[in-house]
Each structure stands twice: as C-alpha cells, then as structure tokens.
Structure 1
Amino acid sequence: MDWLIEPFMPIMIQALMFFYRLFGDNFVLSLALLTAIVRLLMVPLMLPMQKSARKQAEIQPQIKALRKKYAKDSQKQNEELMKLYKEAGISPMGGCLPMFIQLPIMWAFYRAIIQVLAFKPGDLFFGLGKYIASSAAFSDLVPLNSHFLWLNLATPDKTYILPILVAFTSWLQQKLSPTTSTSSGGDDQAQSMTQSMQITMPLMFAFITINLASGLAVYFIISNLVGIAIQYFINRGLPPAPQPAERASGKPKSKPSQQKRQGKSKGKRK
C-alpha cells in the first residue's frame, strides 16, 4: 500500500511541520488542527456512505423477506435484491468507493505522524528525512518537541489513560453512525455483527495504542472527537431513522398530534 500513500506523505509531513512552527513548537495543537482539516475534507466522501447506510437500514425488512422467500434460489434472490436496490436508489458498491478513497489519505496521515515523531531526520522513511533536513524552513525543527503534559509523545503512555480514551471515543463515534443507530429491527445477522464490531473495534484500537507512541493515541482521540462532532451535524441533516414498527409496515407512523386530530374528526362525525 506504500505506493498509494507516497503522493500524500510529503503534503502531510510538511503540513504538520508548518503548523508545528506556527503554534510555537506545540505538536498537539498542530496535530489537532491538521486532523480537523483532514476530517473536514473527508466529509464530502462520508456523505454518500452515510446516506447509503441509512437507505439500506430502511429497506432491511424487504431484504430479509426476499432472502427468506428465495432462500433456495440464490440467482433469483440476487436478481430481486438488485431490483430492490435499484428501486430504492441504492448502489450496493456506492458506499465502498468513498471508503477506498479515504483509506490512502488517512493511512498517509497516520504514517506521517509516526515519521515526524522520529528523534532525528535520518529516522524518517521514504527519504523524506533528507528532504526535510535540507529544507531551511524545517531543518531546525527536527527532532520535534514531543513532550505534552505527562507524556512523551514518541513513547507509549504507561498510565494507560490514552488507550482508555481511544476506546471510549471510538465506541461513541460508532454509536452515532447510521449503521449502528438504524440496525435494530433489520437483518438479525447484520445486527449481531454490528453489535460485535461496536465492542471489538474500540478495544482493538485501544490495544494497538498501548505499545505504540502516545502521539498516535492523541491522534486517534482527536480524530474521534472531530468525527463525533461531524457525525452529529451529518445526522441532523439526514432524514430521521425509521423506527422498527415503521420499517415492518413500510409506512411512517403518524405523529401524536395527527392521531389526536383524526380522533377528534371521528368524534364529530358521530
């Protein structure tokens, strides 16, 4: 995957170094600002994924019914599912393409953080250490000031506070995503898998950050917090998620005020 991220590496490293100098050698502030910028630039790629996930959650009862009806005829089942996706305006692979575009960018950012936390320019990968060391603008910045609060950002956090925060913020971000908030009442297997991932993924990220540089844990926490804020505003812009009863009937439930008005009109007719 290195050949995919190489074009983004110089941009990420130079941006980190620029903000590091701008904020008076404060690596955490430079990391926070660049993380926010990168995550905001990813929003146009996130929206199609979010909308696709919401639509798929809405048609889960129909999907479940088709799979049950054509359980013994996989070809017919696939044909009917594709027809259903087309009617609902869903591309089965539509949500995957933005993810594939995001991955190299986020991975390059991740690798850039590892590299700028190197103790000397020669420790940087991809030959960028030589490029930075020969740069008049950044040669005096390496090695970076990697101390923040009680942390040395180039070494693991021995207090385990950061891995715990990584797990919690990762879990909270997943809770806000449409795939988890609209999974109830749909495919039982998908629901079980979603609930399992909601626990295992945050724990996996926490485990990863136990033995890696604490600067990476800080990045994960900042990225998750920015992601939570972005997800909150995206959720406000998306149509409300259908409740299980609404999905089962395929029709939205009438609001209480509408039900009251209907009851009054029936009483007047009597």
Structure 2
Amino acid sequence: MIDSLVTFVVGLAGGDAALAIVLFTLAVRLLLLPLGVRQARTARIRERLAPKLRELRKRYARDPERLAGKTRELYAGEGSSPFAGFLPMLAQLPFLWLMFRVATHPTALAGHTLFGAPLGQQLAGMVAHYGLLSAPVSVFALVIVLVAAVAWLSARNIRIGDDQPELVRKLSRLAPYGSVAAALVLPLAAALYLLVSTAWASAERAVLYRRPAVA
C-alpha cells in the first residue's frame, strides 16, 4: 500500500520524489490553514482575556475544578475554547505519521534522492555509507541547518502571555527546536517534510499573528 501511494504521488510530481514531498507538505499545510486561522483567533482572544484569566486564577486558586469551569465559560462567551490552539498540531499528526511510514519504508523511496542524497536514509547511515565529508551528507546537513534556522525564527516570534508560568514560557521557546532533534534521527524524506512544514508554519504565524499598526 505504501509503495503504491508513493508511486502515485511521485508520478504526479513528474517522477521527482523530493518535489513530491514538498508538494505533499504544501497541500497538507493548505488543508490545515483554516485551523491555523482559528488558532490565531484563539491567541488574540487569550490576550484579550488575560486580565480576567488572572483574576479567575487568584479567585479560584484552591478550587481547580471550578477554575476550569469558569475558564471554559469565559472562552465560550467569545465563541472559543482554551484547547482550540492545539487543533492544528493534533490535525497534522496523521500526516506526520504517514510521512514517517513512507520515510522508514524499506522500498518506497528506494532509488529516490535529493541532489544525490538518498531520501530514505538517516544522517548516521549516510555518514557510515558515504563518509562525513561526502556530498550526500552535505545535502542532509544543509537541510538540518535550514530546519534549525526556521526553528530559531519561530522561537523568536512566539508570543507568550505574561501570565504564563516561567516553566511554560521556557518550554514554549524550546518547542520549535524539536523539529531539529527529529531531523537528526529521521530519514531525509521526513527531514524535508519538517523543513517545508515548519517554514510554512513560521510564515503563517508571521502573517496571522502580526499586530495591527498603531494609528
């Protein structure tokens, strides 16, 4: 089944598997765009409700159940939910799983490369097979560097409410670098997917979360 799916998608891209991965990723992100818009709306609502949320936390600090209920009511009044911001991430999990299955399939990407670097091979395998200073390893390293650059930009542009605990703020800043860690251990196909997906997400965030100009 995986082989047939890859053959079909690669065929749509004219036989170029790397291009097929890029197009597949862009299609996924475009499909999830409405959820991204909803996530941005939830973030703006959260900012607007921040003073009221702080007040609720103080008032119901010893009653977590009632605090959760009051928080849900507050968001419901805005036509939203405290968990709406997680929807894009959860919705993308099936596509991440599919790409992982394709990238780790023993034959699906056999013979397909990105500038000479096998799409189905991990970085460690390329180093062992071609040598550290080889062209395939350089291609993979460049992809990882680009993933790291996008992660850095994403971490810089993350907006975290001042009312959030310090631990949450730190973890939120580190979260984008999870894509770098994944790219280091996953096959090149998955790393390419992560690069395109995180780049889209960073650009989407820059557009949807930009603050209105002050008159």
Q: TM-score range by the shorter chain?
A: 0.7 to 0.9
Over 3 Å counting, the alpha-carbon distance change for 1:230 and 1:98 in structure 2 is closer
2:119 is equivalent to residue 153 of structure 1: yes
Query: Is 1:214 aligned to 2:205, yes or no?
Result: no
| TM-score, with structure 1 as normaliser | 0.60
CA gap 1:193/1:87 in 2 versus in 1, 3 angstroms: same
Identity across the alignment (%): 25
Indicate whether 1:170 and 2:151 are aligned. Answer: yes
Distance 2:94 2:112 in 1: 26
CA contact (8 A) 1:25 1:144 kept: no
Give, in whole Å, the separation in 2 of the partners of 1:103 and 1:19.
20
Q: How does 1:60-79 map to 2 (within 5 A)?
A: 60-79=50-69
Q: Distance in 1 between matches of 2:89 and 2:171?
A: 21
Distance 1:208 1:103, change over 3 A: closer
- Check whether the contact 2:35–2:88 (CA below 8 A) recurs between aligned residues: yes
Map Cα deviations across residues 144-187 of structure 1 (whole Å, 9 max, x no partner).
Answer: 432222522222334433323222223434544xxx32x24x31
Q: Structure 1 residue 22: deviation in Å? A: 4.2
Match of 2:33 in 1: 43
Aligned residue for 2:49?
A: 59
Q: Deviations over 1:172-225 (max 9, x none)?
A: 34544xxx32x24x3140x641333322x3433322322332222122112222
Q: Distance in 2 between matches of 1:206 and 1:16?
A: 25
Aligned to 1:234: 208
The CA deviation at 1:55 is: 1.0
Shift of 1:98: 5.4
Q: Distance in 1 between matches of 2:122 and 2:69?
A: 52
- Pair 1:103-2:84 in alignment: no
CA shift at 1:35, angstroms? 1.0
Structure 2 distance, partners of 1:91, 1:147, is 44
The change in CA–CA distance for 1:46 and 1:16 in structure 2 (over 3 A counts) is farther
Distance of aligned partners of 1:36 and 1:13 in 2 relative to their CA distance in 1, 3 Å threshold: farther
Alpha carbons 1:85, 1:92 under 8 Å: kept: yes
Is it true that 1:89 corresponds to 2:79 in the alignment?
yes
* Aligned with residue 198 of structure 1, among 169, 173, 192: 173
CA distance in 2 between partners of 1:232 and 1:225 (Å): 11
Gap regions ≥5 residues in structure 2: 124-136
- In structure 1, the gaps of 5 or more residues are 1-9, 125-142, 243-254, 257-270
2:126 counterpart residue number: none
Q: State the secondary structure of the residue aligned to 2:62.
A: coil
Aligned residues: CA RMSD: 3.2
**What is the CA–CA distance in structure 1 between the aligned matches of 2:113 and 2:63, rounded to whole Å?**
62
Flag the 1:25–1:76 CA change in 2: closer, same or farther, 3 A.
closer
Structure 1 residues 196 and 91: alpha-carbon distance in aligned structure 2, compared to 1, 3 A threshold: closer
Q: 1:17 to 1:68 in 2, by over 3 A?
A: same
Q: Answer with 1 or 2: which has the greater Rg.
A: 1
CA distance in 2, matches of 1:79, 1:226: 35
Supply the AA of the counterpart residue of 1:107.
W
Q: In the alignment, what sits opposite 2:132?
A: none
Task: Give the superposition deviation at 1:21.
Answer: 2.9
Question: How many residues are paired up?
Answer: 200
Runs of 4+ in structure 1 off by over 6 angstroms are: none
